[in-house]
Structure 1
Amino acid sequence: MQLKKYTDYALRVLIFTGLKSEHELANIKEIGAVFDISPHHLGKVVHELTKLDLLESVRGRNGGIRLAHPPEEINVGMVVRQMEGDFHLLECFESGTDHCVISPACTLKYTVNKALHAFFKVLEQYTLKDLIENEAELRQLMDKK
């Protein structure tokens, strides 16, 4: 399984903003510089995270973004589900597009679906707080950029 870059970038934005103090703002330009990601792509990701009420946007000259909730309230599994949208890992997962001749007797769909549920069960055990637990090491690596 592979997550979209969009989801990867969303998690990086949340990690970056999660390392800021409650009143400290981050901005797309600095996040892009640290992770070498286009500000244009990050703008779309930040917009979506704001719509999902995970980030708060502060407008104005000294504006920026910050977490809308404490890190311990942001569930990693929920973020991945929201950012990915659908998980059509196989053609037969998509309704109305089942062109596989063995589909009526095949158990692959159910096996992969079970694996997908296990994947999310693990992700849902973690919050953003868990991802930034090694704060000092993360800050040191980001400061090198």
Structure 2
Amino acid sequence: MQLTSFTDYGLRALIYLAALPKDRMTSISEVTQIYGVSRNHMVKIINQLSRAGYVDAVRGKNGGIRLGKPAESIRIGDVVRALEPLQLVNCSGEFCHITPACRLRQVLAQGVQHFLQELDNHTLAEMVDANPPLYQLLQVE
């Protein structure tokens, strides 16, 4: 299974936000520059993460973005569910003629379920804890 770039950069953005000092907000432009992704793409990602409650977006002169929840409470599996279209195959009757007799959809669904269960065992905090140089590696110059 391969995650979309949307989910990939969403997870990376959250890791960056979690690695920031607790009192520091950042901007979408900074995250965009760090990862070399288009600003338009990152705006959509941050918007989705904000709607899901993972990012707090503050408007205005002193605004910016920061984690919307403690990193310890953000499960990686939940983030993937919020960002990733998890339908692996198109099993509609008009697209696939063997749908009534096919067991592939069930097997793939079980695989996705196991994949997400494993991701649920890990939090965003685990991605940055005991990793002090992470923020320094990602700093914008």
Query: TM-score w.r.t. structure 1 length?
Result: 0.86
2:116 pairs with 1:120: yes
- Superposed CA deviations along residues 32-88 of structure 1, whole A, max 9, x for unmatched, are 11110111111111111111111111222231111111100111101100111x322
Q: Is the 8 A contact 2:30 2:140 kept in 1?
A: no
2:75 pairs with 1:83: no
The separation in 1 between residues aligned to 2:62 and 2:47, in whole angstroms, is 18
Q: Is the 8 A contact 2:33 2:140 kept in 1?
A: no
| Displacement of 1:144 | 7.2
2:96 pairs with 1:99: yes
Aligned to 1:70: 70
Query: TM-score w.r.t. structure 2 length?
Result: 0.88
Q: Is the 8 A contact 1:91 1:97 kept in 2?
A: no
Aligned to 1:42: 42
1:97–1:75 CA distance, 2 compared to 1 (3 A): farther
Indicate the larger mover: 127-136 or 33-42: 127-136
SS at match of 2:65: strand
| Displacement of 1:19 | 1.0
The separation in 2 between residues aligned to 1:97 and 1:127, in whole angstroms, is 40
The separation in 1 between residues aligned to 2:88 and 2:94, in whole angstroms, is 13
Q: Is the 8 A contact 1:90 1:109 kept in 2?
A: yes
1:106–1:70 CA distance, 2 compared to 1 (3 A): same
The separation in 2 between residues aligned to 1:31 and 1:124, in whole angstroms, is 25
Q: Is the 8 A contact 1:57 1:63 kept in 2?
A: yes
Aligned to 2:32: 32
Matched positions, count: 141
1:62–1:8 CA distance, 2 compared to 1 (3 A): same
The separation in 1 between residues aligned to 2:44 and 2:90, in whole angstroms, is 28
Unaligned runs of 5+ in 2: none
Q: Share of identical aligned residues, percent?
A: 33
Unaligned runs of 5+ in 1: none
